[in-house]
Chains A and B, each alone.
Chain A
Amino acid sequence: MRSDVLSKWLLIGILAASATALAGPLRGTVRLPAPTAAEPPETPPYYWNVWNGFVDPADERADARRELAVVLTGGELPEPVGCDFAISGGDFLPKTMAVRPGQSLRVRNGDGCVHELQSSDLSELVPLGTTPGNTRSVTIPAGGPYTITDRLYGHVSGVVHAVDGLAACGRVARDGSFVFEGVPVGTYTLKVLRGATEIHSASVTITDAETTLEPIAAGN
Chain B
Amino acid sequence: MLSRFWYFLVAALAGAGIAAAFMAQDQINRTAAAAVEEGLRRDRAEIELWLRYDARLRIDDIAPMAAHSDVRNALKQATARRDRSTLDDAIRTPLGTRLAELNQQLREGAAQLLFAVDGEGEIVAQLGGEAPPAGAGLAAFPLVQRALRGYVGDDVWVYNGKVYRMAARPVIDGGQYVGAVVHGSEVSAALAQRLATRIPGATLAFFLRDSLVATHVPAAEGAVQQNVLQEGLAAALGDATVTTAMASGPAEARDLPSGRFTLAFVRGSAAHAQVGYAIARGHVPMASPTDLFRSQESLDSVPWPIVIGAPVLLGLLGLLFVFLELARPLKAFRTAAQAIGSGHSQRVDEAAMRGAFRQIAADVNSALERAQAAGGVKKPAKDLDEILGPKDSGGAPKGGGYFGFSQDEPGADAIPEPPRAAPKAPAAPPAAPPAAPPAAPTAPKAAPPPPAPPAAPKAAPPPPAPARPEPMPEPEPRSLSTGLDDDEEDGATMVAHVPKELLAAAAEANEDEAHFKEVFEQFLALKTECGEPTAGLTLDKFKQTLRKNREAIVSKHGAKTVRFTVYKKDGKAALKATPVKD
Contacts and interface: CB of A to CB of B under 8 A. Distances in A.
Interface of A: 42-52, 54-60, 66, 88-91, 110-114, 132-133, 151-156
B86 interface: no
Interface string B231-271: 00000000000000000110000000000000000011101
Interface residues of B, number: 52
Contact of A112 (B55, B136, B273): B136
B137 A111 contact: yes
Nearest to B67: A54
A129 to B, nearest CB: 8
Contacts of B160: 112-114
Given A57-B150, A58-B149, A88-B136, A153 B272 contact: yes
Contacts of B129: 112
Contacts of A45: 142, 155, 267-269, 271
B116 to A, nearest CB: 13
A154 B146 CA distance: 16
A213 to B, nearest CB: 24
B142 A155 contact: yes
Contact of A43 (B51, B123, B249): B249
B150 A51 contact: yes
Contacts of B225: none
Contacts of B249: 43
B151 interface: yes
B139 A43 contact: no
B121 A89 contact: yes
A51 to B, nearest CB: 6
Contacts of B177: 55, 58
Contacts of A152: 158, 272-273
A47 B47 CA distance: 13
Contacts of A44: 267
B175 A55 contact: yes
B52 interface: yes
B267 A43 contact: yes
B155 to A, nearest CB: 5
For the complex of A and B, the 10 pairs showing the least CB-CB separation, nearest first, are A112-B132, A154-B272, A91-B140, A90-B140, A89-B137, A57-B150, A89-B139, A49-B153, A112-B136, A47-B52
Nearest to A156: B140
Contacts of B186: none
Nearest to B55: A47
B154 interface: yes
Contacts of A89: 120-122, 136-140
B206 to A, nearest CB: 16
Interface of B: 51-52, 55-56, 59, 120-123, 126, 129-133, 135-144, 146, 148-155, 158-161, 169-170, 172, 175-177, 248-249, 267-269, 271-273
7 contacts: A43-B267, A47-B52, A50-B153, A55-B177, A66-B140, A153-B269, A154-B273
Nearest to A66: B140
Contact of A90 (B137, B149, B152, B268): B137
A90 B150 contact: no
A54 B177 CA distance: 10
Contacts of B137: 88-90, 111
Indicate the member of A49, A152, A154 with the most B CB atoms within 10 Å. A152
Nearest to B63: A52
Contact of A50 (B51, B123, B151): B151
Nearest to B147: A52
A164 to B, nearest CB: 30
Contact of A48 (B55, B136, B273): B55
B52 A50 contact: no
Contacts of A58: 148-150, 177
B170 A112 contact: no
B149 A47 contact: no
Nearest to B149: A58
A133 B174 CA distance: 35
Contact of B155 (A46, A66, A111, A113): A46
A45 B120 CA distance: 23
Nearest to B208: A152
A48 B148 contact: no
A52 B176 CA distance: 12
A52 B155 contact: no
Given A66-B140, A154-B272, A48 B123 contact: no
Contacts of A110: 133, 135-136
A19 B137 CA distance: 37
A73 B177 CA distance: 41
Contact of B151 (A52, A88, A132): A52
Nearest to B139: A89
Nearest to B165: A47
A157 to B, nearest CB: 10
Contact of B139 (A47, A90, A132): A90
Given A89-B122, A112-B136, A48 B130 contact: no
Indicate the member of B52, B126, B273 with the most A CB atoms within 10 Å. B273
Contacts of B135: 88, 110
A91 to B, nearest CB: 3
Contacts of B161: 114
A92 B56 CA distance: 31
A128 to B, nearest CB: 14
Given A47-B267, A112-B129, A155 B158 contact: no
Nearest to A42: B248
Contacts of B122: 89
Given A45-B271, A110-B135, A112-B136, A55 B142 contact: no
